[in-house]
Structure 1
Amino acid sequence: MEFSFPPHQITVNMPNAAVLLAEVRARMRERQGFALATINLDHLVKLARDPFFRDVYAAQDLVCADGNPIVWLSKLANKPVSLVPGSDMVLPLAHQAARNGVPIALMGSTDDALAAAAESLKAQVQGLEIAACIAPPMGFDPKGPDAVRILEHLSDSGAGLTFIALGAPKQEIFAAFGRDLVPHMGFASIGAGLDFLAGRQTRAPYWVRKIQMEWAWRMLSNPRRLVKRYAECAAILPGEAMRALKQR
């Protein structure tokens, strides 16, 4: 089952975690690259405003639902997909890489956070090889000369999967750029996933996630940054709901 956002020409083509992991496994075995994006309401706000971001998102091979509103909209469209947050998929994807003998790379955040995330991953994933940890410079342009140098480093490192923790839209831009320059590599855009592993950010408690209120927990933990973002997300929901109903 695939759920689409027709105005943006974006399709959630990975309906659940099992399908995503099976697709990644097949691509790893064939040494075929991919770019994985996890769509949420904030991305939809950006997609509506930015034609370049729409082009970048169209270049993502694998798209899953990161956020309960996306899941709710898919149910309205009678094309249900499951919640597959990027931060929840770091460990499963790392296990997949280890089982297939694919070294990984970590890109984004800070040197200290990457070192702590790498240590956490190695402790939890037996046999995992981390080929590179790269913290980009301040003012990093995901399509500029620094991006080219980083992609060359990633290619030379032997990594087959790179976790990108830059936030939207930089991580998706870098992933799309990487698909052109290093076509055999997988790129997974995971937002704060590495900071969670490193202990630099605290994930909402399990019970909060279980009742689908992680968004409220996050907003209350950083209202100055997130209140405006979530207000913009709420504003587009009625229109997205109407478009979802039309897909029935």
Structure 2
Amino acid sequence: MEFSFPPHRIAVNIPDAGSLLSEVRRRLRDGEGFALATINLDHLVKLAHDPAFRDSYAAQDLVCADGNPIVWLSKLARKPVSLVPGSDMIVPLAHQAVCADVPVALMGSTADSLAAAARVLRAQVPGLRIAASIAPPMGFDPTGPDAAAILDQLAVSGARLTFVALGAPKQEHFAAFGRRRTPDMGFASIGAGLDFLAGGQTRAPRWVRAIAMEWAWRMLSDPRRLAKRYAECAAILPGEALKAIRQR
């Protein structure tokens, strides 16, 4: 029983964090690649207007709910899923890589942020092997020649799981491209997750997240950049609620 977004050919097929870790563990053990996306309202706004983004999202093997509005919508549909933020899953996924004895790679952000995130990950996940850290150039095309070269570099490194920190829609485009070009590798799109680990961006305090107000904390911290985004998200919520009710 999957909670879906039929117009976009997308379903939340991973209901909770335990299911995600179990499926990733299986795929790493069996040498099976995957692309993981964490859907939120901002993604739904982009999906409504961007056919290329819809195609890349449809190519994701694993989709979980990153954002309380998605969780609320799933409950309206009576197909409930749990909150699984991508940034919260980096360390648990890294533990799965250690258990499977496979190296990981970090891709996106900046070289300084990747280096700091790598230090934190190695401290928190004993035995973790980071085979590559790649910060793409400015103007990076996630499906162009630079992306192909990066994927070749990742393949040579021996990494089997790549954390992709490019933001939407670039990270999902890159993961879908990588899924085709390097089918035995896993790609986890985690947005600002590596910057949070590195300390380059500050996440909302835990108590703010506990009351489902992280969006407000983020908007107040950077209103010029985020006010329009959250207004667009709020505008689609009533329509998405009606669509969810129709799934009952």
**1:205-227 residue CA offsets vs partner (Å, 9 max, x unmatched):** 00000001000000000101100
Residue in structure 2 matched with residue 131 of structure 1 by the alignment: 131
The percent of aligned pairs where both chains have the same amino acid is 78
Measured in 2, the distance between the counterparts of 1:5 and 1:151 equals 30
Residue in structure 1 matched with residue 191 of structure 2 by the alignment: 191
RMSD, aligned CA: 0.5
Amino acid at match of 2:111: D
Per the TM alignment, residue 240 of structure 1 is displaced from its structure 2 partner at its CA by 0.2
Per the TM alignment, residue 52 of structure 1 is displaced from its structure 2 partner at its CA by 1.1
Residue in structure 1 matched with residue 181 of structure 2 by the alignment: 181
Per the TM alignment, residue 43 of structure 1 is displaced from its structure 2 partner at its CA by 0.3
**1:107-165 residue CA offsets vs partner (Å, 9 max, x unmatched):** 00000000000000000001000000000000000011100100000000000000000
Measured in 2, the distance between the counterparts of 1:101 and 1:221 equals 40
Residue in structure 2 matched with residue 83 of structure 1 by the alignment: 83
Per the TM alignment, residue 49 of structure 1 is displaced from its structure 2 partner at its CA by 0.3
Q: TM-score, normalised by structure 1?
A: 0.99
1:1-248 superposed matches below 5 A: 1-248=1-248
- Find the residue that maps to 2:78 and give its secondary structure: coil
Amino acid at match of 2:21: L
Amino acid at match of 2:202: T
**1:25-62 residue CA offsets vs partner (Å, 9 max, x unmatched):** 00001100000000000000000001111111000000
Amino acid at match of 1:69: P
Amino acid at match of 2:146: D
Measured in 2, the distance between the counterparts of 1:165 and 1:226 equals 18
Measured in 2, the distance between the counterparts of 1:8 and 1:232 equals 18
Q: TM-score, normalised by structure 2?
A: 0.99
Per the TM alignment, residue 97 of structure 1 is displaced from its structure 2 partner at its CA by 0.4
Per the TM alignment, residue 76 of structure 1 is displaced from its structure 2 partner at its CA by 0.1
Amino acid at match of 1:174: F
Measured in 2, the distance between the counterparts of 1:138 and 1:243 equals 39
Measured in 1, the distance between the counterparts of 2:183 and 2:9 equals 23
Per the TM alignment, residue 9 of structure 1 is displaced from its structure 2 partner at its CA by 1.1
Per the TM alignment, residue 99 of structure 1 is displaced from its structure 2 partner at its CA by 1.1
- Find the residue that maps to 2:133 and give its secondary structure: strand
Measured in 1, the distance between the counterparts of 2:2 and 2:125 equals 31
Query: Aligned pairs, how many?
Result: 248
Amino acid at match of 2:115: A
Per the TM alignment, residue 2 of structure 1 is displaced from its structure 2 partner at its CA by 1.4
- Find the residue that maps to 1:11 and give its secondary structure: strand
Gaps of 5+ in 1: none
Amino acid at match of 2:74: S
Measured in 2, the distance between the counterparts of 1:118 and 1:94 equals 11
Find runs of 4+ consecutive structure 1 residues off by over 2 angstroms. Answer: none
- Find the residue that maps to 1:212 and give its secondary structure: coil
Measured in 2, the distance between the counterparts of 1:222 and 1:88 equals 21
- Find the residue that maps to 1:105 and give its secondary structure: strand
